[in-house]
Amino acid sequence: MNGYYYMAMTNYPYPSDFLNPMPGWPVNVSCKYFDGPTLEQDAKVGDLSPREKQVFTAMLKAANVYFNGDSPNPNCTDFDDTEGTGTLAAYGWDVLACNQLAMPCSNGPNSMFLNQPFDYNAYTDDCKKKFNLTPRYQWVWTYLGGKDIQRDFQSLSNIIFSNGQLDPWTAGGLTTPIIGNPNIDIIYIE
């Protein structure tokens, strides 16, 4: 599933290849494969109905936009790339996440995803096993601030926060001015 996440992060209007080779607007390209399946329930022929076969074929083609964009064999997915990071060395991010930038993520029972609460003990044990590191879950808040942006960023200067319309991280970015601090600029890129 990480491939879909990375595809959304690189949903640019032009082709890119720093993760995996993808066309411009890869999310739109992958969604077009779902235009074909109809909503009627067809009678089953064998194990799957014709509609089910169409949906699974569309899912494969949509995944191939990320995983096999320029592959000479688009029916073969590299399952060794379990993180779906392609050419990006995600291992470095894993080290940071097991040290200073731990970001506990979970899915609740009201999410469209399976209910999966974050297990601090299991994550910490995994970090110790992989990197001999113990995550510092509160480090970023203590060292960099951000729980109360208006208070924490009053004394900062010479910072430009840029957020872009195509950036899926914009929702977590700084989008409102720091009241009383003209030394921080916030730029929105359309």
Residue 170 DSSP label: G
Percent of the chain with pLDDT over 70: 81
What pLDDT does residue 1 have? 47
Between 115 and 135, the higher pLDDT residue: 135
3-state secondary structure 45-82: ECCECHHHHHHHHHHHHHHHHHHCCCCCCCCCCCCCCC
What mean pLDDT comes out for the span 96-118? 86
pTM of the model: 0.61
Confidence of residue 98 (pLDDT cuts 50, 70, 90): very high
pLDDT at 123 over 90: yes
Instruction: Please give the mean pLDDT across all residues of the chain.
Output: 81
User: Which structural domains are found in the chain, ordered by start?
Assistant: 2-67 (1.20.120.980), 91-131 (no CATH), 147-189 (no CATH)
